[in-house]
Amino acid sequence: MADETTTAPPDLAVDVTALTALLDGQHADIRRTVRELLPAYASVLEDAETMPRDEFRDRVRDVVLEIADTGAVAMGFPSEYGGGGDLGASIAAFETLAYGDLSVLVKVGVQFGLFGGAILQLGTDRHHDAYLSDLISGRLLGCFAMTETGHGSNVQALGTVATYHPETSEFVITTTTPDAGKDYIGNAARHARVGVVFAQLEVGGEGHGVHALVVPLRDEQGAVLPGVRIEDDGHKMGLNGVDNGRIWFDGVRVPREALLNRFADVTEDGTYTSDIESPGRRFFTMLGTLVQGRVSVGAAGVSAAKVALTIAVRYGLVRRQFDTGAEDGAEQRLLDYGLHQRRLLPRLARTYALHFAQQVLAADLHDVFSGITADEDARRLLESRAAGTKALSTWLATDVVQECREACGGAGYLSVNRFAALKADTDVFTTFEGDNHVLLQLVGKGLLTDYASDFSDLDQLGMVRFVAGLAVETVLERTRVHQLLEQIREVLPGGSDDWDTDSGLLDPDYHLAMFRFREEHRIGGAARRLKRGVDAGMNPGEVFSRVQDHVISAAHAHVERLVLESFVEKVAATEDGELKLVLNALCDLFALSVIEADAAWFMEHGRLSAQRSKAVTREVADLCRRLRPVAGELVDAFAVPVELLRSPDLLGPDA
């Protein structure tokens, strides 16, 4: 990102094929395979609008089984069971599937990500040998039964109980209260024969916290088994090709071997054993192995945003409105209007930014789970980054789909133009695999405690007490952003206190300094408020409640800083000169549009004058105008198969 000069910046040009290759990254082959596969199932988009619900659910199941036959959705499983042995490729395949019907995507996620992932990551050889080949092939459909009517985010308080009976070497699974029924469980209402069920484990009268067991739900003919009761959750806002249901258990017996025993086991005589002594750490270690789901959902959110932007930008390039006095009398294209550029292009830049952030996250996931990076700190940082990136990526989808729908006017409201399904089907992304605010709360807890060794044992109240026992300076010094900020201050033209200088608005060091300052200040502010509350004798629960918004704000700033760093690093690593210029402009637009949106905060904290704030706004508009000539190429590089765009009313019959 070049410094400001008096000369006009060079015109931008985009080689779409080269940019697609850069976006595809190291897993270009599997992304291309899935893109070539998807047009055959484009009719599912219409089926979602025309088929009765049960018929459409079966149609989605059949598509999932056909895709399973190609091997495209089994990339993350070991090769000896029919998988591809590449977790990064698995994420890339899932991300690309999100260009198509999202009921198909979510059913793939339930079967291969949640159900299959739980057996792979929480089970041992006996479970892998018994289930993986059949679930990978689709011969055995299953579900992931964690959430209950009364407990979603607070998994540790689930009401389902699995009691061990040594005389028969069985666990007896019981739904203890009405609100302990499993709820919103994908695949449960119609297709799952087996479930991974999370329950409180009781052995010899002693509770050992939440563990997972493999529990049969239906026989081979699809009849619900004795002791199991299943109901349909009913019609949903979207994703009605996925059969979400409720499950209750009345004394269902499963053998001792049904316990997924990677982290804990029960001997035949009823002795509970685990290599992880702390119940809290054991629980969080177990959940940490399931982080792939959050990475996948975030990736799908970015893909949905790409589809919406492809449609809206293309429409903006062909739709004309109002005579501008041109000699040929032609009306002006929508995307030539400054306001239309302002609505779409900063969101396009943010989508690029989160794409590259997702690439970094997927690489980290692969390294941790393949053992390349094996230390505990790396795992904790992965869990935090996955939680935060999932939140920002799924909020991106919600925001982009809505703005793109509006940017297409009344035509965008017609189902054939995809926005209705995109809006309905992605809305739940912000709350499944973790409510976004709860996920950012987890990120904030990690920041405030520096992912301390006893971090996993700290609940909300424990975090308050932990932070209250430290000096605020200690909290800040323990964070990586503090060291980064000290380094960046050294390159600011007037020193550490001279933020409103002639430093170029297009200087990445300036962008990083602003993002890092905001993060550090918000972490420190949250810590000070927590300490003041405890020092004043307030109840820790009340203290946390009052400071909760500051904790989440700090977490949000932290994740945006990580996203910007990912983008800056990608620009620096790009060797193609033309692509580098384009990515420069997109990265500048992302950074400055974030600063502009938070200008009031930066001004309140002495990091942005009124004059410089106006300069930021002018620069955002200039960047939008500069990117306008290549906007079509920038969305074409997403390589959404044209058959999946539909939208004849927006793009013409040949779209």
Per-residue pLDDT reduced to its tens digit, 206-221: 999 999 999 999 999 9
For residues 508-514, give the mean pLDDT.
93
**Of the candidates 499, 493, 530, the residue with the CA atom closest to the CA atom of residue 514:** 499
Q: Is residue 597 part of a domain?
A: yes
Residues 6+ apart with CB under 8 A from 289: 121, 122, 262
Give the tens place of pLDDT for each residue, 126-164.
999 999 999 999 999 999 999 999 987 778 889 999 999
Task: Please state whether beta strands 228-232 and 206-216 pair in parallel, antiparallel, or not at all (unpaired).
Answer: unpaired
Q: Say what the pLDDT of residue 651 is.
A: 72
Q: Is residue 10 part of a domain?
A: no
Highest mean pLDDT among 285-294, 306-315, 323-332, 482-491 belongs to: 306-315
Q: Is residue 322 part of a domain?
A: yes
SS3 288: helix
Please, what is the average pLDDT of the chain? 89
Residue 243 has pLDDT above 50, yes or no: yes
Q: How confident is the model at residue 309 (pLDDT cuts 50, 70, 90)?
A: very high
Residue 491 has pLDDT above 80, yes or no: no
- Percent of the chain at pLDDT exceeding 70: 89
Residue 99 has pLDDT above 70, yes or no: yes
**Final residue before a domain boundary, out of 76, 110, 137:** 137
For residues 114-118, give the mean pLDDT.
95
Give the tens place of pLDDT for each residue, 579-608.
999 999 999 999 999 999 999 999 999 999
Q: Say what the pLDDT of residue 618 is.
A: 96
Q: Say what the pLDDT of residue 494 is.
A: 43
Give the tens place of pLDDT for each residue, 316-364.
998 777 666 556 657 788 899 999 999 999 999 999 999 999 999 999 9
Q: Say what the pLDDT of residue 510 is.
A: 93
Are 381 and 529 within one domain? yes
Q: Is residue 411 part of a domain?
A: yes
Q: Who wins on pLDDT, 446 or 203?
A: 203
Are 265 and 379 within one domain? no
Q: Which helix (H) or strand (E) holds 252?
A: strand 245-255
Are 196 and 211 within one domain? yes
Tokens of 570: 């990608």
Q: Is residue 652 part of a domain?
A: no
Strand-pair partners of 420: none
Question: CATH number for the domain including 28?
Answer: 1.10.540.10
Are 151 and 20 within one domain? no
Give the tens place of pLDDT for each residue, 558-587.
999 999 999 999 999 999 999 999 999 999
DSSP string, 124-157: -HHHIIIIIHHHHHTSS-EEEE--BSS-SS-GGG
Tokens of 199: 């329950």
Are 62 and 154 within one domain? no
Are 477 and 522 within one domain? yes
Are 243 and 299 within one domain? no
pTM exceeds cut of 0.75: yes
Q: Say what the pLDDT of residue 176 is.
A: 95
Are 298 and 427 within one domain? yes
Give the tens place of pLDDT for each residue, 613-632.
999 999 999 999 999 999 99
User: Could you give the maximum distance between any two Cα atoms of the chain, in Å?
Assistant: 92
Backbone region of residue 15 per phi and psi (left: phi > 0; alpha: psi in -120 to 50; beta: other values):
beta
Give the tens place of pLDDT for each residue, 24-63.
999 999 999 999 999 999 999 999 999 999 999 999 999 9
**Final residue before a domain boundary, out of 120, 137, 154:** 137
Report the length, in residues, of the chain: 655
Residues 6+ apart with CB under 8 A from 647: 311, 315, 416, 417, 418, 655
For residues 253-265, give the mean pLDDT.
97
Are 187 and 299 within one domain? no
* Residue 251: φ, ψ to 5°: 65, 40
Residue 488 has pLDDT above 60, yes or no: no
Strand-pair partners of 232: 245
The set of long-range contacts for 358-362, using a CB threshold of 8 Å and a minimum separation of 24, is 358/95, 358/295, 358/298, 358/299, 358/302, 358/389, 358/393, 359/25, 359/566, 359/570, 360/562, 360/566, 360/569, 361/295, 361/298, 361/385, 361/386, 361/389, 362/88, 362/91, 362/92, 362/295, 362/299
Question: CATH number for the domain including 261?
Answer: 2.40.110.10
Residue 478 has pLDDT above 90, yes or no: no
SS3 500: coil
Residue 96 has pLDDT above 90, yes or no: yes
Q: How confident is the model at residue 486 (pLDDT cuts 50, 70, 90)?
A: low
Q: For residue 251, count CB atoms less than 10 angstroms from its CB and return exposed for 0-12, middle for 13-18, buried for 19 or more.
A: exposed
Are 494 and 441 within one domain? yes
Strand-pair partners of 202: 163, 207
Active site residues: 433
Q: What is the 3-state secondary structure (H, E, C) of 199-251?
A: EEEEECCEEEEEEEEEEECECCCCCECCCEEEEECCCCCCCCCCCCEEEEEEE
Residues 6+ apart with CB under 8 A from 373: 364, 367
Q: Say what the pLDDT of residue 637 is.
A: 98
The tally of domains found in the chain comes to 3
Q: Say what the pLDDT of residue 127 is.
A: 98
Q: Is residue 407 part of a domain?
A: yes
Give the tens place of pLDDT for each residue, 625-655.
999 999 999 999 999 999 999 877 667 654 4
Q: Say what the pLDDT of residue 453 is.
A: 47
How many Cβ atoms sit within 10 Å of the Cβ of residue 566?
Answer: 21
Q: Is residue 522 part of a domain?
A: yes
* Enclosing domain of residue 432: 293-642
Are 330 and 471 within one domain? yes
Give the tens place of pLDDT for each residue, 429-469.
999 888 999 999 989 988 887 755 444 555 666 777 777 66
Q: How confident is the model at residue 495 (pLDDT cuts 50, 70, 90)?
A: very low
Question: CATH number for the domain including 471?
Answer: 1.20.140.10
Are 37 and 172 within one domain? no
Q: Is residue 565 part of a domain?
A: yes
Q: Say what the pLDDT of residue 649 is.
A: 67
Task: Please state whether beta strands 194-203 and 206-216 pair in parallel, antiparallel, or not at all (unpaired).
Answer: antiparallel
SS3 546: helix
Q: Say what the pLDDT of residue 501 is.
A: 52
**Final residue before a domain boundary, out of 92, 122, 137:** 137
Give the tens place of pLDDT for each residue, 537-548.
888 888 888 989
Q: How confident is the model at residue 496 (pLDDT cuts 50, 70, 90)?
A: very low
Q: Say what the pLDDT of residue 448 is.
A: 84
Q: For residue 639, count CB atoms less than 10 angstroms from its CB and return exposed for 0-12, middle for 13-18, buried for 19 or more.
A: buried
Q: Say what the pLDDT of residue 88 is.
A: 92
For residues 392-396, give the mean pLDDT.
98
